[in-house]
Structure 1
Amino acid sequence: MTKPLDATHADPFAGAPTFSLANRVERFAFGIVWLLCARWTPPQARRWRNWLLRRFGAKLALSANVYPSARIWLPRNLTMQAFSSLGPGVICYSMAPIKIGRHVVISQRAHLCCGTHAIRDPHFQLRAFPITIGDDAWIAAEAFVGPGITVAEGAVLAARGAAFSDLEEWTVYRGNPAQILKPRARFQRARQ
């Protein structure tokens, strides 16, 4: 896991970096490669994009689909299982591991955010917590999943919803903060 620098020794308010030089170089290199080799590709070129992401440490199933306009902060913190998708414009702020199960849809412009700050700390220390999204879940358009959240199997976060606490399995949530709307009908998918 990527660990932020100690804010008591590297003051971000004074312009100090919040991550190590190695981390920043890795992210810069990935950003350049993604811009030149993936950002412009058609949606159908998912295998090429997956290959590039794997070169930077992402753990992706062959059938995972990352759209070219998705923004991934640090690929080595991303795991995607079979038939899951990061849609157009998704922000994957993977300061900590993000694990996405099978048949998960992360819709356009959704935001998966692993980072936050210690608001009681005078140094405003950056913190990172993992996100886990279970099989058959759906994070709808422009929804936000916060640091340390687990989205259980089959859960749905409706468009522009914001999850600041864990979402229960097979339940539909909406709003900011996300509240239960209704149960979602369970189904079993034949595993490929």
Structure 2
Amino acid sequence: MNRIFLCTQEGMTDVERSLRGFTGAGYDKGRPLFVQAAWFAVLSLVFVKWWFPARWRPALLRAFGARIGERVVIRHRVRVHWPWKLVVGDDVWIGEDAWLLNLETITIGSDACVSQGALLCTGSHQRHSRTFEFDNGPITVEPGAWVAAKAVVLRGVTVGRGSVVGAASVAHRNVSPGAVVTTGATA
């Protein structure tokens, strides 16, 4: 058991962390174990490979339950945790090494771009929970938005229409339509 000291507005809080007691209560993976295993096999052996044609990736995601629009470009080394929790509009680009860690639904609107190395992470944990239970939330990237290279969008965030999460920035709260987030600040 580890003692964790958290700084809060009220001061220091002592939390006894016991990860052994983690239950994952309330989290639904959305498909049976055999489908999860099949997806991870396809993801690792085919989907992420440079030789697998980009034009076939949307069809493969659809076969596993994703809702993917037309003319979607998904480059190699893109990782999608659960295809059945992915909704993508038309004319979307997803760059090399992007990671869609969608424990909950990720929705990417039409004409949006998720650039190289970006991370969209719907998962988190309750920091005050002794057993570190999940605190997940969906992500929405609205039409025309751009999540630039190495940017991170955290759980529960909506990236507004036509906005930009700049390279290596972190969107930890909603981004207003047309706004630009750079190095953690909104401009």
State if a TM-score over 0.5 links the two structures: yes
Alignment of 1:28-39 (within 5 A): 28-39=37-48
Query: What is the Cα deviation at residue 154 of structure 1?
Result: 0.4
Alignment of 1:62-77 (within 5 A): 62-77=70-85
Alignment of 1:158-169 (within 5 A): 158-169=166-177
- Alpha-carbon RMSD: 2.1
Alignment of 1:141-180 (within 5 A): 141-175=149-183, 178-180=184-186
Residue 185 of structure 1 corresponds to: none
Query: What is the Cα deviation at residue 42 of structure 1?
Result: 4.2
Give identity over the alignment, percent: 27
Query: What is the Cα deviation at residue 87 of structure 1?
Result: 0.8
1:91 matched to 2:99: yes
Distance 1:20 1:129, change over 3 A: closer
The C-alpha deviation readout for 1:5-45, integer Å capped at 9, x for no partner, is: xxxxxxx82387746795554333112112333322447x2
Decide which structure has the larger Cα Rg and report it.
2
Aligned residues: 167
Query: What is the Cα deviation at residue 170 of structure 1?
Result: 0.8
Q: How far apart, in 1, do the equivalents of 2:46 and 2:89 lie?
A: 23
Q: Is the 8 A contact 2:19 2:130 kept in 1?
A: no
Unmatched tracts of structure 1, length 5 or more = 1-11, 182-192
Unmatched tracts of structure 2, length 5 or more = 1-17
Q: How far apart, in 2, do the equivalents of 1:137 and 1:49 lie?
A: 22
The C-alpha deviation readout for 1:88-123, integer Å capped at 9, x for no partner, is: 000100000000001111000100000011111111
**SS at 2:135's partner residue?**
strand
Query: What is the Cα deviation at residue 62 of structure 1?
Result: 2.2
The C-alpha deviation readout for 1:57-103, integer Å capped at 9, x for no partner, is: 11101211222210111011111101112210001000000000011
What TM-score do you get using the length of structure 1 for normalisation?
A: 0.79
What TM-score do you get using the length of structure 2 for normalisation?
A: 0.81
Q: How far apart, in 1, do the equivalents of 2:50 and 2:68 lie?
A: 18
